[in-house]
Structure 1
Amino acid sequence: MILSLKKSFYFGMAVASMIATTGFATTNASARSYARITSNQVMQTAPQNRNVTTNGTNALYTKAGTLRGARVIASKYTLQRYGSSKQSSQYFRAYRVATTNRGAVYYKVVSFNGVYRGWIYGGRVNGTFAGGLNPANTMANANLPLQKTGYTLTNTKKYTLWVDPKWSQYKAKQVDMSSYSPSDTFTITDAATKTREQYLYYKVTDNNNSAIVGWVYSGGVAAPNSQQATKDNSVKVTYVNPAGQSVGDYTWIIQKTDLKAGATLTNGAKLGDILQKATQLTDIISKNVPTGFKLSATQIPTNQPTEVTVGADDYLVHVDPVTPNFQSPVAYYLTNTNQQISPSQLVGNSYPILTDAQMTIFSSQTQGTVPAKVFDNALFSDPNKLSSLTGVPVTNADGTKTTPVYYFNKQSTIAANSEAKYGDTLKLYYTLPQR
């Protein structure tokens, strides 16, 4: 019995040895299958349309995460903290895009502060930020102050001018201030707030040197005065369109430094008699024309600016709507299906009605790329305009009626128009909430 067991043991060992030697064993024979890159390109879209945030669903790697040898640079936890950060320096900029043979899209990104650089999964559609990334609007539109001219810079060492507000773009640059003089005054032409910190910035142009133009923190500019307008120190300018309707006004408070030597600032004084420069009111008028309009070339004020008197409260200036060279029409799409929404699907059988002045947000004198901040405009938060679309009521199976409401989807809209230029049709995306 013992002899029989030994023979069986040695026979089993021999068979096992033969299998191993002849290659019949299958355990651990197949190596792990790795993805490979089929496309790797530099992104060509406008830089400001490639700003992104990380959401923590995917880590950052030295190469696409499914490639052999990929190592983690930043964990999901770290990227989640960057994504929810209140610091603009922790945004990312995407600059390369790669696709694997499995259809996955990876983006190479760098943090604005330069701490992290690597590859992250971005979904399965080239040019659309998904997966571990979300599109980012680093700035949001803000209202201009009523007073737009005559500002001075308070401290250029602490609050200098930037081509783009600091940390609002990757490697934002300072404006060359070598020709700036502390006595220079500035005109505010635009306003925006940082999305994360909510800091207000103004875009300003040097009135003495038009080459000096840039963004400055609102705390870095000082208003020309804090006086209240009275009949003894001001002139009110009212801008009217060709139909005679007011489209804006501006009250100019005259300073003593504007006066000729010995002149008295008082109600009824003629500007031509008291001002140092006869063109001063003309300059004020041209710098404060309402957005979307230009001074009329055909309708001239009946009295010349030099004949206007202090205390005048209705000096009419005629303006015409600006006709842009490149006007983008808009189309409405459903995020859920990517299908265009037809007028017949909406109450009133029509799309929202926008005035010519409102349509100017989709217009430009040049055919540049449409910036993402266009979709921050107040029209997109106005329920009577572009915030939502009301659908035609539908009858349910139980006989009740439901009115569908489509809500504006900013992220999908920005992604769909990332390469759009003024003059192209802009696709506005709306989402029908799932019930």
Structure 2
Amino acid sequence: MAGLSKSKALNTLCIGESGKLKLWSNWSQNRYGGNNMKFDAKKSLYVGIAALSLVAATGAATTNASAKSYATATSNAQLSSDPTTRNVTTTGTSALYTKAGTLRGARVIAGKATLSAYGSSNSSQQYFRAYRVATTNRGSVYYKVVSFNGNLRGWIYGGKSTTSFGGGIASANTMTNASLPTTTTGYTLTNSAKNGLWVNPKWSQYKAQQADMSGYKSGDTFTVIGAATKTREGWLYYQVRDDNNASVTGWVFAGGLTAKTTPTPTPNPTTPTKDNSVQINYINASGQQVGSAYNWIIQQSDLMSGAKLVNGAKLNEILANSSELQTVINKNVPTGYTVSGTQDPSHPLANTTVGSSIAVYVTATPTVQQYASKLSYYDAKTGNQIPTNYLKDNTYPQLTTAQQAIFSSPTQTTINASLFDNAIFQAGNPLYSLAGSPQHATGAYFTPAYTFDAARTKTENANAKYGDTIKLFYDEFNM
């Protein structure tokens, strides 16, 4: 046995307890010159390859078990909703990728810091437009977006819903509504080449386009029909329409419009002087003055074109309406009197001059003992009485005897609310509206006008009786 072990020749490839390959060699020659066991090289090679294959298989299994698991896309579709509803801004919480960020092979195009800067930018060029949406098997939603300036395009995490934006993007209102200017008509384009019209204000939409201005002619005037500011820059834009060609319409930078120049009107006088008024004295049959003298202040609007309002000017040579003086006389007759058919022939109204005083003969009207209510006029908005100098001709409406009679009663009974539904308060009749005279306040000129407010009048006179002063309320608006 001892001889046999010395002459034994073995090459054995084994895997030890540590899992490492070991080559065990026991080889000796038969000391007596013979080989009792031959070395089979071919068989030994097969054994080695088999052992290495086992090790390789074990290693591969370990690698596959630790490989990263990637998401898969379950849908990828073009968005079809109104493009203007798909404007978004980036929040800076997600990066922009070449594909959905959890898919195999996704690479970062722009990091969170870059997208955060875009999201807080004061430039409209750095908004984004979403145009595709994809979902993954993990329930995540990704939107494909492109920046308005075209510099960035890729996929960004958008939350868990395909009907609203979340995650790394949020909906954006690129424009904010603004108030229309006080004057909306008569504008012209300052420089149509520099500030032309846009379908949407430049950079307020992705690939915003200029409007078709082929029908525009130099000098055309425009009407402002809309106003908005750029949310980020705060620049004001007006939506306008060509007065001569309605097909020419769009948005223009407010600084690109020129407003028509309106000459500053001469303020209307409110104090009678020898250079602007005529004094009217009402005289009864006994030659006595009745009531107070009425001072008619002539307004610039009463004059014919080119006429000058100066002391001594004949009214029939400067008034646009030659019968205006007679109208003023009739409107301001003292209560209880009418203008007499007989007047002083030596002083015809046609010869009346600015700064003069005239006598108008009146006749007392028959009176019946009754309760007659006087009328007063109030602004429904302020609750204040409307002053006569706010009204044309500086006077309240003048009613005929028949018209005054509806505010009278033989007995002092409560006034029924139906009185204020009378035709005299309807359109085209004396108490329906009050015409104002031009006024100047807070650096601007305006002409007030008033329309009868039946509901307010009924409320304010709920307990009024005939003989009380009736308060008539009017809604004011400026022309």
- What interval of TM-score do these two structures reach, taking the shorter chain for normalisation? 0.5 to 0.7
Q: 1:276-287 counterparts in 2 under 5 A?
A: none
Aligned to 1:28: 63
How far apart in 2 are the matches of 1:26 and 1:61? Answer: 32
Q: CA deviation at 1:118?
A: 0.9
Alignment of 1:3-402 (within 5 A): 11=16, 12-13=20-21, 17=52, 19-23=54-58, 26-30=61-65, 31-225=67-261, 227-228=263-264, 263-264=305-306, 311=438, 313-315=447-449
Length-normalised TM-score, structure 2: 0.48
Q: Deviations over 1:296-341 (max 9, x none)?
A: xxx96679xxxx99849345689xxxxxxxxxxxxxxxxxxxxxxx
Q: 1:117 is aligned with what amino acid?
A: R
TM-score normalised to structure 1 length: 0.52
1:37-58 Cα shifts (integer Å, max 9, x gaps) = 1111111221111100112111
Query: Does the 8 Å CA contact 1:231/1:310 hold for their aligned counterparts?
Result: no
Give 1:407's aligned residue: none
Q: Deviation string for 1:183-242 (max 9, x for gaps)?
A: 11011111100011100000011111100111000000011125445557xxxxxxxxxx
Contact kept? 2:437, 2:448, Cα under 8 Å: no
Structure 2 counterpart of 1:354: none
Matched-pair contact (CA < 8 Å) for 1:270–1:310: no
Cross-structure match for 1:383: none
CA–CA distance in structure 2, aligned partners of residues 16 and 269 of structure 1: 126
User: Quick one: percent identity of the two aligned structures?
Assistant: 53
Quote the Cα distance in structure 2 between the aligned partners of 1:162 and 1:317.
41
1:190 and 1:70 map into 2 onto residues whose CA distance is 45
Distance 1:94 1:183, change over 3 A: same
Cα distance change, pair 90–209 in 1 and its aligned pair in 2 (3 A): same
Displacement of 1:114 after TM fit?
1.0
**1:27 counterpart SS class:** helix
Secondary structure at 2:185 match in 1: coil
2:291 counterpart residue number: none
CA contact (8 A) 2:215 2:247 kept: no
- Asked if the contact 2:184/2:224 (under 8 Å) is kept, the reply is yes
The one-letter amino acid paired with 2:109 is: I
CA distance in 2, matches of 1:175, 1:53: 26
SS state at 2:146 partner: strand
**Conserved 8 A contact 2:91-2:170:** yes
Aligned length: 256
Aligned-pair CA distance for 1:180: 0.9
| Structure 1 residues 158 and 21, CA gap change in structure 2 (3 angstroms) | closer
Inter-partner Cα distance in structure 1 for 2:62 and 2:308: 101
- 1:264 & 1:208 partners in 2: Cα distance? 31
Gaps in structure 2 of 5+ consecutive residues = 1-10, 23-49, 269-303, 310-317, 322-425, 440-446, 453-479
How large is the RMSD of aligned CA atoms in angstroms? 3.5
Q: CA deviation at 1:72?
A: 1.5
Q: 1:151 to 1:310 in 2, by over 3 A?
A: farther
Query: Partner of 2:335 in structure 1?
Result: none
Larger radius of gyration: 2
Q: Which has the higher contact order (CA 8 A, sep 6+)?
A: 1
* Alpha-carbon distance, 1:270 to partner: 7.0
Match of 1:275 in 2: none
